[in-house]
A = this chain, B = another copy of it.
Amino acid sequence: MELIEATYIATRVDRPAEELAENIAREQSLESPRELISEAIAERFLGRVLAVEAKDADRHVLRIGYPAELASGQIGQLFHLLYGNVSFYPRVRLVELRLPESLLAAWPGPLGGLAGIRQALGVADRALLMTVLKPRGSSPEVLADLARRFALGGGDLIKDDQNLVETDLPTFRKRVTYCSQAIDNAQNKTGKATLYLPHVAGSGDHLERQLETVARLGLPGVVLCPWVMGLETAASAARRHGLMWLAHPAAAGTLTESTDRGINAAVLLGTLVRAAGADISIFPGSGGRISSGERDTGAATARALTAPLGSMRASLPCAGGGKTLELAAQTAAEQGPDRAIVVGGDLLTRGAGIERATRETIAQLAALATDHRS
């Protein structure tokens, strides 16, 4: 039987580690007393303990196999299966995930991903520069002007700040249309593509109408917050409209940054987000305002987004969180070309200098790629 293999680390176990592992396997799969579970049901659905090992004086490694059918072919249900009720267990953290081929084959993965974005941009081999439209409250004209300058400088990706949220559709439409047209005009001048991803939030009809607006404008995708709106909700919303999507990590920090609970960033913002089909995943990386401190998992997350995973395309890894332009080149130098680097505030504050600063940073990234090739 094909299993979803989940590895947890349990710190200072409150019962024998083997017992805890059995409890988790049962809790997450059938949540029933053993005597309620028939042999046939156990065989088909019960989670099973694959290994229990002491890691050090404080910690045990628990490897559990869940029958693939438990995910019900739904990425939301997979997340639920891996870390639903066990999130309430004392000091149990999900650190590794292996998905079986059957499950991976059922999901399409990223629509464009790293390769599709490179193709749309016509940028083969350097790190990509992304900026952010903000702050909320700025007029559409002001935001469109920021977008225009960045595009004139040859910038690659523009995302809306995830705080840009409109209550009504006409305001959303106006802003997104202005920004889109400003970028089109700039592209016509430079001959270089810049991809614009508006932020879309909310639910129901309001969510649908925003996505329709983006698709009708011919824009390539959207920014979604899967840990606010739900991972599967985000994935299916984008897919329904044929849009790429950038997964913003808002609200995921308690999961990734807790020491002895939660889920490793490489699993959460790497494997799961890619399996959900996110074309770009932002995660905290080394440096910048929001960093993951001593436990910098940027490299592991980027690997999870790009290493072979069924036949899924790679997602574009994006080391985010308040980077300066200077850190952009440094991050690209350290981490290689298959990254998008987000620079928001430090670029936007340059006003009339945005275009030039963008051009110079892109040139630095291109030079790094040349170094990398040689």
A residues with CB within 8 A of B: 27, 29-33, 35-38, 40-41, 44-45, 70, 72-74, 76-77, 79-80, 83-90, 134-138, 161-163, 165-167, 201-204, 225, 228-233, 235-237, 240, 249-258, 261-263, 284, 289-290, 292-293, 321, 344-346, 348-349
CB distance from A251 to the nearest CB of B (A): 5
Checking B76, B89, B90, B250 against A229 with a beta-carbon cut-off of 8 angstroms, the contacting residue is: B76
A-B contact pairs, 26 of them (CB 8 A): A29-B136, A29-B163, A32-B348, A33-B346, A35-B349, A36-B134, A36-B349, A72-B166, A72-B167, A80-B162, A80-B228, A80-B250, A83-B251, A84-B162, A85-B253, A87-B252, A203-B233, A204-B236, A233-B233, A254-B261, A254-B262, A254-B263, A257-B261, A258-B258, A258-B261, A258-B262
Query: Known interface pairs A136-B45, A137-B44, A202-B74. Does A80 touch B32 (Cβ–Cβ under 8 Å)?
Result: no
With a cutoff of 8 Å between Cβ atoms, the chain B residues found around residue A225 in the complex are 80, 84
| A228 CB contacts on chain B under 8 angstroms | 76-77, 79-80, 84, 230-232
B233 touches A134 (CB 8 A): no
Contact status A87-B257, CB under 8 Å: yes
Q: Which residues of B contact A41 (CB under 8 A)?
A: 135-138
Cα A253 to Cα B289 with chains together (Å): 27
Interface pair A88/B233, CB less than 8 Å apart? no
Asked if B250 and A254 sit within 8 Å, CB to CB, the answer is no
Give which listed residue, B38, B167, B240, B253, contacts A86 with CB less than 8 A. Answer: B253
A261–B86 alpha-carbon span in the complex (Å): 18
Most-contacted residue by chain B among A33, A135, A202 (CB, 10 A): A135
Question: Knowing A87-B257, A203-B233, A236-B204 touch, does A134 contact B79 (C-beta < 8 A)?
Answer: no
Asked if B88 and A31 make an inter-chain contact with CB atoms under 8 angstroms apart, the answer reads no
List 17 additional contacts besides A72-B167, A72-B201, A88-B284; criterion CB under 8 Å: A30-B137, A31-B344, A38-B137, A40-B137, A41-B137, A45-B137, A72-B165, A76-B201, A79-B251, A84-B162, A86-B253, A88-B321, A89-B253, A90-B293, A202-B232, A254-B263, A258-B258
- On whether the beta carbons of B88 and A253 are closer than 8 Å, the reply is yes
Least CB distance, A2 to chain B, in whole angstroms: 15
How close is A319's CB to chain B, nearest CB, in angstroms?
Answer: 13
CB contact between A201 and one of B77, B237, B262, B284 (< 8 Å): that residue: B77
A77 touches B138 (CB 8 A): no
- For A83, A284, A292, which residue has the most chain B Cβ atoms within 10 angstroms? A83
B236 contacts A233, CB within 8 Å?
no
A119 to chain B, nearest CB (A): 28
Q: Report Cα–Cα, A166/B73, bound state, in Å.
A: 9
Q: Chain B residues near A321 (CB, 8 Å)?
A: 88
